[in-house]
Amino acid sequence: MGASAPNLAGGVPGPGGGRPILAFRAGVWNDNPIAVQILGICSALAVTTRLENALVMGAAVIFVVMMSSLLLSLLRKAIPRRIRMIAEVAIIATFVILVDQFLRAYYWDMSKRLGPYVGLIITNCIIMGRAEAFALHHRPGISLVDAAANGLGYTFILAVIGLVRELGGTGTIVFGERVLVTIPGYPMNLVLRGAPGAFIALGFLVALLAALGLRKTREAQG
Amino acid sequence: MNETSALVIFVAAVFTNNILLTYFLGMCSFLACSREFPTAIGLGAAVTFVMTATTVINYLVYHYLLVPADLGHLQLVVFITVIAAFVQLVEMVLERFSPRLYYALGIFLPLITVNCAILGVALFMVNFEYSFVQAVGFGAGAGVGWTLAIVLMAGLRRKMAYANIPAPFQGVAVTMITTGVMALAFSGFAGMVSIQ
């Protein structure tokens, strides 16, 4: 929510309204949920200590945003406008609980590492934002594309931050038990690995994307 | 069940384990409402109040309703419903008794509902297996800590208005980096007290 909170309230249709390819590009790049819309920052910072965590979190968000957008889009004519928020939260919560229970059952270590941040997908504004700004005004097919694109855009930024923080923080990339990359003799960098590094890395990433010409319409905000 | 005293948990939640600076929760409203002092203080007070109160309610609901009925997996839905209902209540009270604050907070009051810090505190409380008193200390401390962070940020942003910031960094980017530096400063508190 945050910087583009008015978007939530106004229910303005997202960019690239009609055509799938445009909606896709908008979600992944031009209107990237994290770097451009500044949504879903909390989890982007919290779970990116490692690349693996970032990717799992990204997958979880892609699943939740796609399923909830699809369902809300199918039900868009049936949901009365006044109670739409509650309907949205209920539907999103259902899918988040599914993901949470799935991780607990099959990937206990990962579930413990992500901790409460899986549950916090409910309050991840990207999902609510897509529901409000897109799924409630568009047909299921295009809503699914839009949701997938935004989920991928989110995952992409998470992966970049995760990569920077894991490689920059410890000099290694570890997936499960396997060590993929090691920089020999790399000193531990606790700043990058810890909380300050997360803020600073995301700050520089947002600035980098701004320098590349994104965020032009949103300069006034934030 | 751990034995840390509630006061220690309170201090830790404000300084060493600041909900915003170490758990990254409540970033959205932090970024959007940290431009002016009065708004920052008002929102901080509202968040502290809602956080403390909902932690108490959620604690009671979780331990005396959900756990006995073996419905722990419903905690997410129940917590968010409690929070939403409570925020609605606060909104009505504010509108009645402090219209100025009500209008100053504008859209962000309903958005406290989706302020992840508040849901986060409830989830952490369950994760850390706190007792009732500990949970109250944690909820209040997290609220005060969040308020401290946003008020400090409002002060910094007031100064930043006069700084010559390169175009791409303006807005969110520089705020984020400043928050990082602030988190770095707060990490100086690390080891003073500690909770899980």
User: For residue A197, is pLDDT > 70?
Assistant: yes
Task: Return the pLDDT at B63.
Answer: 93
B105: pLDDT strictly greater than 80? no
Residue A143 CA to residue A132 CA, distance in Å, equals: 11
Q: Whole-model pTM above 0.80?
A: yes
Q: What is the C-alpha separation between B183 and B152, in angstroms, rounded?
A: 12
Confidence of residue B113 (pLDDT cuts 50, 70, 90): low
Q: In the predicted model, what is the mean pLDDT of residues B14-38?
A: 86
DSSP string, B43-73: HHHHHHHHHHHHHHHHHHHIIIIITTTT-GG
The structure tokens 């700084």 sit at: B163
Q: Which residue has the tokens 């129940």?
A: B78
pLDDT band at A12 (very low <50, low <70, confident <90, very high): very low
Whether B196 is in a domain gets the answer no
pLDDT score recorded for residue B196? 59
The count of domains in chain B is 1
Q: Does B115 touch chain A (CB under 8 A)?
A: yes
What is the per-residue pLDDT for B111? 65
Contacts of residue A115 in chain B, CB cutoff 8 Å? 123, 127
What sign for the dihedral angle of Cα A169, B128, B49, B46?
Answer: positive
Based on the number of CB atoms within 10 Å of its own CB, is B119 exposed (0-12), middle (13-18) or buried (19 or more)? buried
Helix axes B75-97, A84-106, angle to 10 degrees: 150
Give the C-alpha separation, B149 to B146, whole Å: 5
Is residue B195 one of the residues assigned to a domain? no
Print the domain residue range for B22.
6-189
Query: How many residues in total does chain B contain?
Result: 196
Beta-strand (E) ranges in A78-221? 172-175, 178-182
The verdict on residue B56 lying in a domain is yes
Per-residue pLDDT, B122: 92
* CB atoms near residue B73 (< 10 Å): 12
Look at residue B1 and tell me if it is in a domain: no
Q: Does A1 touch chain B (CB under 8 A)?
A: yes
> Which residues of chain A from 99 to 118 reach within 8 Å of chain B, CB to CB?
100-101, 115-116
Half-sphere exposure of B41 (CA within 13 A, CB side): 5
- Whether residue B35 is contained in a domain is answered as yes
Nearest to A117 by CA among A96, A98, A102, A132: A96
Question: Residue A221 above 70 pLDDT?
Answer: no
B190 SS3 class? coil
Residues 6+ apart with CB under 8 A from B196: B2, B128
Shortest CB distance from A123 goes to which of B116, B171, B179? B116
Nearest CB neighbour to B176, from listed A128, A202, A219:
A202
In a domain, B194, yes or no: no
Residue B171 belongs to a domain: yes
Average pLDDT over all residues of chain A: 81
